[in-house]
Amino acid sequence: MLINQLKLIEHLPILGGNKNNMKEIRNIGVIAHIDAGKTTTTERLLFFTGKIYRLGEVDSGTTQMDYMVQERERGITITAAVTTCFWKDYKINIIDTPGHVDFTIEVERSLRVLDGAVMVLCGVAGVQTQSETVWRQADRHNIPLIVYVNKMDRTGANFDKALNSLKEKLGITAVAINIPLGEEEDFRGIIDIINMKSIVYEDDLGLSPREEAIQDEHLDRALFYREKLLEKVAELKEELTLKYLEGKEITPEEINQALREATISYEIVPVLCGTSFKNKGVQPLLDAIINYLPSPLDVPTIKAINPFTQKTEERRADINEPFSALAFKVVSDTYVGRLTFIRVYSGSVKAGSYIYNVNKKEKERVSRLLKMHANRREEVPEIEAGDLGAVAGLRVTSTGDSLTEELNPILLENIHVPVAVVSQAIEPKSRVDQDILALSLNKLSDEDPTFNYKVDPDTGQLVIFGMGELHLEIITDRLKREFGVGVNVGNPQVSYRETVTTSSEAQGKYIKQTGGKGQYGDVTLRLEPLERGKGNEIVNAIREGAVPREFVAAVEEGIRQSLEMGTVAGYPVVDVKVIIEDGSYHLVDSSAIAFRIAGSIGFKEAMRKASPILLEPIMFMEVIIPEEYLGNVLSHLVSSRAEVQGIEIHGITRIVSLKIPLNETFNYATILRSMTQGRGVFNLEFAQYKEAPSYVLSKISGLV
């Protein structure tokens, strides 16, 4: 840098914040499509609040929030990083989340415990595939949003187009509260349309912005957007409606108060702009975070189930309430050991105390409490309601577990975990590697709920499962670097599923006679197809007394085991309803083992009769390419069984939206680079499971 950053830091606002005043706490996430500038924006938020004193860059691998080796090498965020900063006496807990779909669990579990979010858009592309995904995640958790249109200095940046894409693609009421002062290479600041002034950035670090009157050439556009803002604000309150209709001035204070209430109630999404890389527009974004996003006191009181009474209870964000918290992330720290990240909803937790894990029904000792800045730690004596932190010393707590006082337990809503769609066979290189491989895989699956592994019962191979090629690539890389495990890996495989298309009925009967006591189990099952994505359901409809209750439980266990391996090609069965209709038992020979086997036999027979089919994962893909390569790329995609959904035009760039079977996407990065001379990129996210053509089944049957 040409400017001495350490000298200029003296111009930053004085830091502060009352830890006990929840009105002055903001728990926010930074979410976006990959490469929209989330991590760069987070670094700038930390710099302008005085949390860090040197600006890091994603491309050079020097950011503080991307601390993993794999993140710095690839220039992407892989794991959500937590930090805390202060702005104008407000405490802001920030989680910087990944943009790549393979690591969507990081976004999901972060949004589960946050109160608000900043969605970053690229000023050139506007709303993209993963933008829609993270918005849906935020919407599912009722997270109020503000939108920051980044990269306004880039060629092709268009604020109006980005704003319209929010309305058209997401259907939200997006209202601009500032607009760009110039665009592309002429971008030099913003126009604040609430206070009707220009903010011009004159230095490289943006530490000394100059406020000035709006120049005549920009006044008409500013007035146009202000009128749109006033129209929306006037709709929010009756007194503002009257003032607007009577032509009276609506003050900036009234606008801000109305916007705050409307943002928290999901009626409006304020939109700002800037360029984080060039340090322009970040301070207004910080102001918007504290002005419009909710404090822990502004969000609805949490509701949870009391495991003893099975009744719904409420816990207010109050340190005087009984302690309750949700564990949303687990990491293995080199120096501290196992760290569990928590959001405290009520009460407080102190270092050295005991807490109760409601899910595991076990007491846990809190050895240390920590505030995190990415991978750096600061020990604290207590974490109070409304705050985020990390706990060292918890043995059994995992992602999604509820933590409370033992005498006041409640079970909070768990965290949704997406389905893994890609698998890969791995094997240790040596006996030494074999000894530590299982332990290493267990630690990784403990950290990441979307990663799991198992030994294939037929082949004896160790198979790992994840969200995509990149996800499994990162896992195997971490095995080698962090855990020192040498492994050989096979090619990624698609995780297919099986289901049925018609109803059927079958009897499962297991009879075995020996010299002494025999085995007898008899059950009648009915199989029905469910709507795609509904999961599996087992219903006990057997008449009273036909089969003892303990044997019915054994039948259900046999069915669940059989659901793991279907009859078409040996893949897990999904979206079926299994009804246990009838059965019989023998007073002497019947046993739980016999009924478990009978349940398995009956299920497999019913499955064969119910016209089973193979399902393959279908991905939503977005391919971004220069116009000149469109024809060749489309031809290749169509030949790969892709269904094109639409083509968007952004200057000389074309964005192709399509659905494509996951099996056709392996090695597509290499193919696309070859076809576009390295200028094409693409993004993937899971869309649905769909019936696979018969030739796909024929192709994979030899591999199962």
Residue ranges of the binding site for GTP: 32-39, 96-100, 150-153
Closest to 101 (Cα-Cα) out of 673, 621, 626: 621
Q: Which residue has the tokens 């999961």?
A: 535
Q: What is the rounded CA–CA span in Å between residue 596 and residue 582?
A: 15
Task: Mark the binding-site residues, compressed into ranges.
Answer: 32-39, 96-100, 150-153
- Classify the phi-psi angles of 30: left when phi > 0, otherwise alpha if psi is within -120 to 50, otherwise beta: beta
Q: What is the rounded CA–CA span in Å between residue 214 and residue 216?
A: 7
Distance of CA 569 to the CA centre of its chain: 31
Phi, psi of 339 (to 5 degrees): -110, 135
Q: What is the rounded CA–CA span in Å between residue 194 and residue 178?
A: 8
CB of 146 within 8 A of CB of 29? no
Structure token pair of residue 451:
């990663």
Q: In what helix (H) or strand (E) does residue 19 lie, and over which residues does it extend?
A: none
In single-letter form, the type of residue at position 257 comes to Q
Helix (H, G, I), strand (E, B) or coil at 529: strand
DSSP secondary structure, 155-207, as one string: TT--HHHHHHHHHHHH---EEESEEEES-GGG--EEEETTTTEEEE--STT--
Q: Which residue has the tokens 């109803």?
A: 503
Q: What is the rounded CA–CA span in Å between residue 114 and residue 387?
A: 10
CB of 402 within 8 A of CB of 304? yes
Q: What is the rounded CA–CA span in Å between residue 46 and residue 62?
A: 14
